[in-house]
Structure 1
Amino acid sequence: MHADADIPTEIQRTLTEFLDVQEQRLAELGPELAEQVQAARDATSGGKRLRPSFCYWGFRAAGGDPERPILTAAASLEMLHVSALVHDDVMDSSDTRRGAPAAHKRFEALQRARSEASGSGGDPVSFGIGAAILLGDLCLIWADEMLHTSGFDAAALARASKFFDAVRVEVTAGQYLDLVAQASGTSDLDLALRVLRYKAATYTVERPLHIGAALGGADQHLIDALSAYGLPLGEAFQLRDDLLGVFGDPAVTGKPAGDDLREGKRTVLVAHAVDHASPAQLAEFERLFGRAELDDDEIQLLREILQDSRSVQACEDLISERTAEAMEALDRSPVQDETSRKALADLAIAATSRHL
């Protein structure tokens, strides 16, 4: 792969080719499995491809040869991401993902159509949830397979596997922390920041950089430097994502406006509001927050409380601070390749400057 190649396009091609092989393998088990493969194809189409991009440029920053099989290894992180999204949507009871029905809703509709056609059949809702859980599991297995059959030698894979194992543990642990935060019914800034770090920051930026750099033969000095850049950048990315989850345009985010407010996401944005809203604002916020049936006017009222409590501005300030910290760390880093250095700087802007 040449340095000026379109990474998102190349990642899509790699995923498509991998799923072509999986479709042939699963066809031997039964034609019903085509539904799982097609759902995986749709779930791996589109998206920002940030994790594969950070992996690729971590590899290049370590001096990795772009002609090596880095694309398949990088694409494994997109497959891991899809696994996490499918499971996340089940846990959050989200109806949509990237502007299309979430996987469990997709499978629910398939089963409902079959039941209506035959006049019998199991509960479509239960089927949809079960089928989506299995799809997430399949994608997790496939992520591991993509990395370990990517074509790198055993030594390189052993170096990378340490970080690949870490990111899978961290994102799962972060997901559990998120569940605990939502179930608590209260907002705690420390817990919100831990969820931010382990569910998003390490998973989106730091570990993909580490995996790529390890495949490229990086020493510990470079690994540490990539952490100094990747962790604050990952936190800034998720803070921006949290703002988009409340204020974003559904045409851009692919989810209904204010969905995070209906789901009761205990983010840093919400924790700040709980700490800084007036008593009257807090009472109104707690009355509405987390109600699935919120209408547009109620969503707007919650947004106004987030604005008036200066919680939105506090998150914007944190995004600016974390991004500046990341850029300063990149400036100090031992990355010698100017193409890689510029690509990492551009990725920092792409990850944090998405508009509300």
Structure 2
Amino acid sequence: MAEPIVEVRNLRKTYGPKVAVDDVSFAVERGEIFGILGPNGAGKTTTVETLAGLRQADGGTVRVRGVDTQRDPAAVRDVLGVQLQEAALHDKITVSEALNLFAGFYADPADPDELLAMLDLTPHADRRFAKLSGGQKQRLSIALALIGNPEIAILDELTTGLDPQARRTTWELVERVRATGVTILLVTHFMEEAERLCDRLVIIDAGNVVAEGTPQELIDGLEGGRTVVVRFAPQDVERGRRELAVLADRDAEVEGVAPVDGSDTEIAVTGTRRVLFSLVPALAAADLVPDDVRTVTRSLEDVFLAHTGRAYLPGADDAGAPTDTTLITEGARS
């Protein structure tokens, strides 16, 4: 197997008494979108900033293309592009000026005009930073992270604050960037974003990796039951409840029957993985034809709950971690 392009082993980082990253390990293969998913405050940003050589680790090893970024961060600056949580540029600088300025930091930069076109920024090339929308600022920050022709791009909380349409547009741009051959580390607290974009991911909670794999592997690996929601016509609801209650009493595959909150016609049937196989014949035997039957889709939120014992809730930012939102690309540092 080829050597991972990024390898993190037993990473630890503290800020005084606060342990931001306790014991984080993962490896990223060339050309994939690798997700670092977790609630705010879990240690995600600290992890990637340490990986990029922007912070000094207290323990563990971090390698990019085999180079220890803690010992020699300058050795990877030309192959690593970083988009931090917030873009901060001078209000009066235009999109084109910013790209050309950052291009000057590199020996072999990308073509600014090509980046403008790829990220749908050409119509805004002469617009000042202060006049850009949130989505346009995020696209500019991606462009600045890519201006050095990096092999790896770290995109940190890329779509925070964007409306749903702008978020989906940005997802399409990320996929477009990966298609050019760039390996992407995507830091996010959005479950849907991770499921949509990531080839593989780690879920981090309280500075520790609690799960790792492809989104589908993690979801498929969940043990426990399933839930099926049945919607009846109004005149069939009461008879449906009675028949399903009888089914729950006599069938080991069915564990519970309960009305769905906020609905007068829907009933949730919970049970084992085979609950649907018991439910459908029972409805047919009772001559009950539902208006709708749907299985409740499991998600990465269920994975988080299974591994931590609590619901997935966004919290505060990485506690104790000082931030530097003025830095958009690693190569921009002297």
Pair in the same fold by TM > 0.5: no
Band of TM-score, shorter chain: under 0.3
Greater helix percent: which structure? 1
Larger radius of gyration, structure 1 or 2?
2
Greater strand percent: which structure? 2
Q: Which has the higher contact order (CA 8 A, sep 6+)?
A: 2
